[in-house]
Amino acid sequence: MGVKVCKFGGTSLADAQQIRKVAEILAADEERRFIVVSAPGTRPHVSGDRKITDLLLLCHQLAEQGLDIAPAFNRVRERFEGIAAALGVRGVPAWLDEVETQVAAGVSRDWLASRGEYLNARLMAAYLDARFVDATAGIFFRRDGRLNEEKTYSTLAERLRGDGRFVIPGFYGVDPQGNIKTFPRGGSDITGAIVARAVGADVYENWTDVPGILMADPRIVPEAQPIRELTYREMRELSYMGASALQHEAVFPVRDVGIPIHICNTNDPAAPGTWVVRERDVRRTPQVVIGIAGRVGFCLIFIEKAMMNQERGFARKVLTVLETHNISFDHSPTSIDSMSFIISEEELNNKEDEVVEEIKRVTQAEIVEVIHDLALIATVGLGMAYEPGISGRLFGALREERINVRVIIQGASEINIIIGVATADFERAVRAIYRAFITPCA
Ligand code: ASP
């Protein structure tokens, strides 16, 4: 019998009705034995609803400022107690009391943020009659904040041995001192991938409230269809640029061992969803481009100096300035006399003048300037490497819309063409590219 790890996101566990759907999904396939849960998310029918994690983070902020946490914590309490009562799970009020008492005694942000997953996993284990295995017993971080892979995979494999179902809370683990540490937001996806690898799963099912990874952001392209199949690399490019079905770091643990990720919809379990796989046959997909994703909020540092290409150590000097200011950059398009760095605005925040001055000083460049309001759009597809004329089509579509392209980046891998446009042109550009490459019926 095969083994499936199923991670359920916050909207799939937002209330008792959703949780019943989850139970049905699990009952339909006995290979679904390892269940990773998020904290309850927002309920679409409740206006102004908040994610449990957001409420817990609010509690932490209030506690830090010496303010009363009760109003915010009571919302957390009501949610969990309501779900537990509807599902007939006992003991939940006492678990919540425990958390509230600990908060009063002073707890870290990560500890409190993790309680949504912790409580939900205990609740789900009780409801499903499954074994609860806390993430603190199996997910370990190193002192530098990175995952201790060896220890995590071997310990988790040990803890998750045996028959029956196991429920594991997503989003956190422990550091070497035994303190709880969370992954970035949306990090239960990462936990799911780690568990899949630890137990040697055949499939990592990621259950969410969308039909899969869409070919474009539906807020910009309402008719965007789900992508049936894509590779880990294509997935990484798209999710890094904002395609949001899966946290972008979640690919790594499963990619190395080739476990496919199946993104499924809890509200429509029979739908095909999206498969993320190691390799795919590009001839099976009618379009060369499988997805378009983009983000606003970038800027570009442009540096120009005559004969720059012949100067030894030029790039090193600029990179040292960026490093000393703790700035990471996303791309660096260059030409013979100029070099530029695309950086998210947040990275440069408050440091712009200093950084520009310092680059001027160390490089003696003629021009160092920052261009703001840049949006990046990635057009992704493995098949692009084999088909001529792709960039012609892309730029033709933008020309027809009279959109000025500020930067072009094409990595040597040729699975991706990234363009930079003014923020004001962002949505129009995404729509133009979508129309140029993706046929509506695909
Ligand atoms: N609950 C956490 C968040 O809201 C983690 C997750 O759901 O994946 O970010």
Q: Ligand 1 pocket: which of 7, 51, 247 to mutate (most atoms <8 Å of CB)?
A: 51
- Domain-embedded: residue 219: no
pLDDT the model gives residue 438: 86
- Domain-embedded: residue 54: yes
Whether residue 395 is found in the same domain as residue 304: yes
- Domain-embedded: residue 260: no
Å from CA of 170 to ligand 1 middle: 8
- Domain-embedded: residue 285: no
User: Residue 245 belongs to a domain with what CATH number?
Assistant: 3.40.1160.10
List, for residues 178-233, the tens digit of each pLDDT value. Answer: 999 999 999 999 999 999 999 999 999 999 999 999 999 999 999 999 999 999 99
Look at residue 375 and tell me whether its pLDDT is greater than 60: yes
Mean pLDDT, rounded, for 354-377: 95
Å from CA of 185 to ligand 1 middle: 5
Whether residue 241 is found in the same domain as residue 325: no
Whether residue 334 is found in the same domain as residue 418: yes
User: Residue 363 belongs to a domain with what CATH number?
Assistant: 3.30.2130.10
Whether residue 247 is found in the same domain as residue 301: no
The total number of structural domains in the chain stands at 2
Look at residue 244 and tell me whether its pLDDT is greater than 80: no
Q: Per residue, what are the HEC states of the chain?
A: CCCEEEEECHHHHCCHHHHHHHHHHHHCCCCEEEEEECCCCCCCCCCCCCCHHHHHHHHHHHHHCCCCCHHHHHHHHHHHHHHHHHHCCCCHHHHHHHHHHHHHHCCCHHHHHHHHHHHHHHHHHHHHCCEECCHHHCCEECCCCCECHHHHHHHHHHHCCCCCCEEEECCEEECCCCCEEECCCCCHHHHHHHHHHHCCCCEEEEEECCCCCECCCCCCCCCCCECCEEEHHHHHHHHHCCCCCCCHHHHHHHHCCCCCEEEEECCCCCCCCEEEECCCCHHHCCCCCCEEEEEEEEEEEEEECCCHHHCCCHHHHHHHHHHHCCCCCCECCECCCEEEEEEEHHHHCCCHHHHHHHHHHHHCCCEEEEEEEEEEEEEECHHHHHCCCHHHHHHHHHHHCCCCEEEEEECCCCCEEEEEEEHHHHHHHHHHHHHHHCCCCC
Q: Is the CB of 184 under 6 A from ligand 1?
A: no
Q: Is the CB of 185 under 6 A from ligand 1?
A: yes
pLDDT the model gives residue 440: 54
pLDDT the model gives residue 322: 95
List, for residues 34-55, the tens digit of each pLDDT value. Answer: 999 999 999 999 999 999 999 9
Å from CA of 135 to ligand 1 middle: 14
Whether residue 204 is found in the same domain as residue 311: no
Look at residue 308 and tell me whether its pLDDT is greater than 90: no
pLDDT the model gives residue 162: 93
pLDDT the model gives residue 383: 81
Å from CA of 186 to ligand 1 middle: 4
pLDDT the model gives residue 412: 65
Å from CA of 370 to ligand 1 middle: 35
Whether residue 345 is found in the same domain as residue 246: no
Mean pLDDT, rounded, for 156-180: 97
Look at residue 304 and tell me whether its pLDDT is greater than 60: yes
- Domain-embedded: residue 215: no
Whether residue 200 is found in the same domain as residue 346: no
Look at residue 285 and tell me whether its pLDDT is greater than 80: no
Mean pLDDT, rounded, for 315-324: 95
Whether residue 238 is found in the same domain as residue 311: no
Q: Is the CB of 53 under 6 A from ligand 1?
A: yes
Å from CA of 278 to ligand 1 middle: 26
- Domain-embedded: residue 280: no
Å from CA of 172 to ligand 1 middle: 10
Look at residue 108 and tell me whether its pLDDT is greater than 60: yes
The confidence band for 241, taking pLDDT boundaries of 50, 70 and 90, is confident
Q: Is the CB of 40 under 6 A from ligand 1?
A: no
Q: Is the CB of 403 under 6 A from ligand 1?
A: no
- Domain-embedded: residue 26: yes
Whether residue 250 is found in the same domain as residue 313: no
Whether residue 251 is found in the same domain as residue 304: no
Which residues form the domain of 154? 4-210+231-255+265-271
Whether residue 188 is found in the same domain as residue 295: no
- Domain-embedded: residue 150: yes
Whether residue 246 is found in the same domain as residue 319: no
Q: Is the CB of 11 under 6 A from ligand 1?
A: no
Mean pLDDT, rounded, for 73-80: 96
Closest ligand 1 atom to residue 247 Cα is: 8
Mean pLDDT, rounded, for 237-247: 84
pLDDT the model gives residue 442: 43
